[in-house]
Amino acid sequence: MTTAQSMITIAVVVLGTMLTRFLPFLIFPEGKTPPRYITYLGTVLPYAVIGLLVVYCLKDAVFSSFHGLPELLAIVCIVVLHKWKRNTLLSIGVGTVIYMVLVQFIF
């Protein structure tokens, strides 16, 4: 990607993000109630999107030579650690280090 292309990509992401933030205020200025379908999507989508993002992160691992085995091992560690300690930053930090050790020294 050239610098110009990077700039455009970033601008598009900013635009999209701002659209999601400003849209409700633009469509429903004062006291108008939004349609139920929209509020419904607003309640269910966040749960689905995190699932989508997890799969998105693993998209290349699935088709790689180990079919995502190091990723799977690291994720299992994160789940166990998170259930046990309930500390978001600890889980993310340790999970990442475990993965880095796995791909650098074992796989």
Partner 1 sequence: MKTKAFKAALPHTLPICIGFLFLGMSYGFLMRSKGFSFVYPMLMSFFIFAGSMEFVTVNLLLSAFNPLYAFFLTLMVNARHLFYGLSMLERYQNVGWKKLYLIFGMCDESFTINYTVLPPLGVDRGWFMFFVTMLNQIYWVSGATLGALLGYVIHFDTTGIEFVMTALFVVMFIEQWEKTEHHRSALIGVGCTLLCLLLFGSEKFILPAMALIILCFTLDRKKTDKEEK
Contact residues toward partner 1 (CB under 8 A) are 1, 5-6, 8-10, 12-25, 28, 30, 34, 37-60, 62-63, 71, 74-75, 78-79, 82-83, 88-89, 91-93, 95-96, 99-100, 102-104
Q: Which is nearer to partner 1, 30 or 65 (CB)?
A: 30
- Cβ proximity to partner 1: between 65 and 83 the closer is 83
From residue 45, how far is each of 17, 19, 33, 40, 88 by CA, in Å? 16, 17, 20, 8, 22
Query: Please, which residues have CB within 8 angstroms of residue 73's CB and are 6 or more apart in sequence?
Result: 98, 102
